[in-house]
Structure 1
Amino acid sequence: MRRFLPWIIGIGLVIIVAFWVMGLKNTALKYSQAVGKEWGNVDAAYQRRNDLIGNLVNTVKGAADFEKSTLTAVIEARAKATSVTVDPSNISPEQLTQFQQAQSGVSSSLSRLLVSVEKYPDLKANANFLKLQDELASTENQILTARTRFNESVEVYNGYILAMPQSFFLGNYKEKPFFKSVEGADKPVEVKF
């Protein structure tokens, strides 16, 4: 029996290490899935905004003889934003930047639309328009919350896969980028007529 003791200990250690590595990978997978879920929430919030913009544009068109260039800018920005997709499992900083730039275009054109509405008192009093405006404000808050939660899940994921000793065993798990504000977001939007 003593002759087999080193083999039993060796096999036992191999089994313990194998289960430990499986635990590392399973935890990394769980955190990766959490990042994907939170990205889905970000995407859903932006989709809600894009859906509301279509209704808002139609309401504005029907309620006022509105500047066509402003409406066209909103429609084009929305179309561009919906054409940019990001795969959360392979998200890269470049994809995230492209997505953010497209969404920034929507935000900018939407801001110009809402500011230019001030010239139309009938439209400002329109119940449908007011409801859509409230829903857009609520959706912007949802977008902020979804981005924050996404960044929190990325922080947990990156912290786990980059820490020692996990980084030795999780080489195929790549660091995910954080959602950052677009350049110039710290300045107010300038609207000119």
Structure 2
Amino acid sequence: MTTLLVILFIIIAIALYLIVIYNQLVKLKNRYQNAFAQIDVQMKRRYDLIPNLIEVAKQAMQHERQTLTEVIAARNLAHAALQQAANNPGDAKAMQNFQQAEAKLKNSLSGFNVLVEAYPDLKTNQTMMQLNEELSSTENRIAFARQAFNDAVMFYNAYRQSFPPILFAATFGHPLDAALLEFADKEQIQQAPKVQF
């Protein structure tokens, strides 16, 4: 009788421990998915600002239609990649596509900013200045949201890879590690700014 109670107690303890592992995996996955949702919000805000910026610039930059078209095309590509990544924020392929689309958008925006410098009237345009400020502010928010997402992914992956959760993660529907979100500017962000006199 006591042997049966001890065996029953051990089975219940193991079952409770498995429930704890499952719940922790779910909680950590929901955390990184929520963190990506914050990136999604900021990216959509950014994507909504870009057409307004281009619209203001169109009037002054009549001869630069190709650059303006490239920025809009890159924005649309990045927006589509964001939607794909938002559907499964832990998927490595979706993250890679999103990162590549963002790199293309960043390059086209850099080209656009170089052209804006050649148009003094556009640089001093109040609407253009306000939109640039909004875009800059949004970029900062994206950087913070990306950091929060990567932290959440790191906690999820660390827990998923630890023992004993690794033994049960695939069974509980968590077969793979979540992918980090790293943009092409990673090396630039990590470098200290250079000051010259």
TM surpasses 0.5: yes
CA distance in 1, matches of 2:88, 2:135: 29
Secondary structure at the residue paired with 1:86?
Answer: helix
The offset of 1:180, in angstroms, is 2.1
1:2-13 alignment, distance < 5 Å: 4-13=1-10
Residue 14 (1) aligns with residue 16 (2): no
Provide the TM-score with structure 2 as the length reference: 0.87
Residue 166 (1) aligns with residue 165 (2): yes
Structure 1 residues 85-114: Cα deviation after superposition (integer angstroms, max 9, x where no partner): 214546322211111111111111111111
The offset of 1:53, in angstroms, is 0.1
The offset of 1:140, in angstroms, is 0.9
Q: Which amino acid aligns with 2:150?
A: N
Provide the TM-score with structure 1 as the length reference: 0.88
Map of 2:124 onto structure 1: 125
Structure 1 residues 19-73: Cα deviation after superposition (integer angstroms, max 9, x where no partner): 1110111011000000100111112211111000011011111344351011011
How large is the RMSD of aligned CA atoms in angstroms?
Answer: 1.7
Number of aligned residue pairs: 183
1:127-146 alignment, distance < 5 Å: 127-146=126-145
The offset of 1:186, in angstroms, is 4.1
4+ residue stretches of structure 1 with deviation over 2 A?
Answer: 62-66, 87-92, 184-187
CA distance in 2, matches of 1:185, 1:98: 16
CA distance in 2, matches of 1:21, 1:42: 32
The offset of 1:131, in angstroms, is 0.3
The question of whether the paired residues in 2 share the 8 Å contact of 1:35 and 1:88 is answered with no
Map of 2:192 onto structure 1: none
The offset of 1:185, in angstroms, is 6.0
Q: Which amino acid aligns with 2:17?
A: W
Q: Which of 33, 38, 42 lines up with 1:36 in the alignment? A: 33
Unaligned runs of 5+ in 2: 189-197
| Distance of aligned partners of 1:31 and 1:100 in 2 relative to their CA distance in 1, 3 Å threshold | same
Map of 1:181 onto structure 2: 183
Q: Which amino acid aligns with 1:52?
A: L
Mark the structure with the bigger radius of gyration.
1
1:111-122 alignment, distance < 5 Å: 111-122=110-121
The question of whether the paired residues in 1 share the 8 Å contact of 2:90 and 2:177 is answered with no
1:96-107 alignment, distance < 5 Å: 96-107=95-106
CA distance in 2, matches of 1:181, 1:89: 18
Unaligned runs of 5+ in 1: 188-193
CA distance in 2, matches of 1:166, 1:125: 58
The question of whether the paired residues in 1 share the 8 Å contact of 2:146 and 2:181 is answered with yes
The question of whether the paired residues in 1 share the 8 Å contact of 2:25 and 2:159 is answered with yes
